[in-house]
Structure 1
Amino acid sequence: MARFKTKHTEWLLSNMAITVSSLLSSNPKPLTSRPVGRPPIEYVNAGPRQKRKLASDLAVHQGHNTSLLVHAAAVSAEKSNEEDTALVLKNIYLTPSDHNKVRKNLFTQKTDSVRLTEDEAFFEFVLKIAYRLKLKKWQVRDENGKKEMAKQKNTIQKKMWNAMALHVDKPKQNGNGNTNDGNTARRAFAKPKLLAEILGLDENLIAYFNSILIAISCHLPIDPTQFKKYCQKTVTLYMSLYPWFPMSATVHKVLMHGYQIIEASILPLGVLGENASEARNKYYKSDRRLHARKSTRQKNMEDVFHRAMDSSDPLVSSIYLAKRLGQQNKLPLPADVIELLESPNFLYPCNMDNNNNAPVFDANNSDSDSDSENPFTIEIDVEDDF
């Protein structure tokens, strides 16, 4: 304190004049009260919780009148020049029947259309016929018809599981598609009699479908003329049994235009499939993990590509060709499919099984276990520089 007085003695002893005229003026300014609490927040800038509270307070204030609130929202959208929003709200307000359409558009998962394989398309085709077999209608729109079709579908699903251990028309666990894939279709068509009994369809029609599917996936050349006659016979049988259900696009393409595709193809249709490329996926994974550099992604992919080129070389792939063919467990071709081949007698110089009329190869003529001579030869020219 003594130090303060010593330092500021001059300031403390001096005289100061203070003017208070502004405080004693005749027209003092009115005192304004400051707002209490937090400043108000607009709805757009509010958080999710605050938005719910504001909307709830508004709904309570209007007595939970939904029509009034929707109409008010439409008017507000018009004034804000939000024409699309106003149009949607007006449609909901004026036509309550559109509520279901809006709900389906919002909550129905939209997935890209995936092309079905021929096996899957034919299997879906026969299933849809079986579901509507009692109604004999292509489009079922009444409630009683939908209930009857759902009941028939449930019955067929149980029979398919009990008799063939196949899940049919059920969504997958990952939510991507249903269980009607190619493996399910091939296993179902492999037993035409049992499948026809479960679905209640004609056994000959199911057998014809099975033969056609095997023929177009066969690696042997198919005779277009014989294939056309066989498909015409199938179409005639189908139209005589189920004329009320039109063919799907894929079934129509195979039955009516399949022979044209065979004529235009240089190679058999089965060779043009994706089975070989899909079978290579496991080798790509192994090569990338065990036989490729991992310093950069570019070098990794280069090594995988180079190894794929080496393994696909005809000479390298033919070394164990006989062994690989012997390990494959291929089912014999049905007699109907053999008749569709261009040269069935030349390609199958073997006896026929009396039980299923399928070709049975002679074990003595098979070279799967023999050390056959490599059909490829290599000639190496070495230049002598010495």
Structure 2
Amino acid sequence: MQAITAHVIPPREEALRAEIRAFLQAQLQGMPAERRARSWMGFDAGFSRALAERGWVGLTLPTEYGGAGLGHFARFVLVEELLCAGAPVSAHWIADRQSAPLLLNYGTEAQRRFYIPRICRAEAFFCIGMSEPGSGSDLASVRTRAVPSEGGWRLNGSKIWTTNAHRSHYMIALVRTSGNPDDRHQGLSQFVIDLKTPGVSVRPITDLAGDAHFSEVFFSDVFLPDDALIGSEGDGWKQVNAELAFERSGPERLYSSMVLIEGWLALLRTRAAAGAGLRGQDTELLGRMLGQLAVLRSLSVGVTARLAEGESPLLEAALVKELGTTFEQWVPRAVADALAAQPELPVPAELARTVAYLMQVAPTFSLRGGTREILRGMIARGLGLR
């Protein structure tokens, strides 16, 4: 694993920030903090279409497929601003970040021409069919199977913890096309599935916060035409690892708790202005948060620089994702403890709701994009420790 050196976002890409902030200020005006705290789990198709009209969905995709043709640093700036503001980006997020690049790299020209322009217009939303019941984090043990049928394939099985399946138009699924689960990485393939196809059923899963981001998806003798196969039969494991690299390489793993930090900082300022003073513990905690965030952001910019140079920093992305989700999970607990240490002081209701929401959902931060155990195994192998 190469060292991630310090990098600076180029001035041209940095200049995008002012336009994005002005757009977000208009779009998010009046949205309460507890809603903004959902950010990339917040589903708003209208907001995604408004982004697409500005050319900000498919930012790095080629112009011939409807993208903006910009580079990785431009996407970093856009993502950072969206997530720090708490914009509801979930509708287009997976399609933009993972599905379109996967199709661009492995899909047929017909698949690229059909799907990618629709993604760039925020007209086609995608979900990912990876996890399965009983498999845990063992992605290679998938049992959902597609068998050859006249003119295509017949698919049977199920997926679970599929984000936004009940709101998506398509799924890109990893399924077994030969052998059995004991064959591990062999015999796996990826298909793009129209979720309106007969035999597909979706059941949302309600979480502790009362949201239904996740779903179970069932396939009962679903017919998939030959052109639903992405890439070559049996190459699914290689392709899905490339897809996961797209998921882990951005700044998404740092900012899930930023709206809460913003709200808590505003409360500290209000208390200080009212003459209540600040506890030394609070200023120390704020310093720790900002220090960790600065380091993590620098690491994430370094990963982006490697991508801009045409490299594939899989291990570096795994490291930033693991450290970033640890930070994201720590912040709600730390803020909740700081507020509880002064029970005599009032807490704004909006801030209290934001803390409560993030305390409920923070355990999921280390699951999405690969569990902590999987990532630590990857990092250990990269360091030659296993």
TM-score by length of 1: 0.19
TM-score by length of 2: 0.19
Which fold has the larger relative contact order, with Cα–Cα distance below 8 Å and residues 6 or more apart in sequence? 2
* Larger Cα-atom Rg: 1
**Greater strand share, 1 or 2?**
2
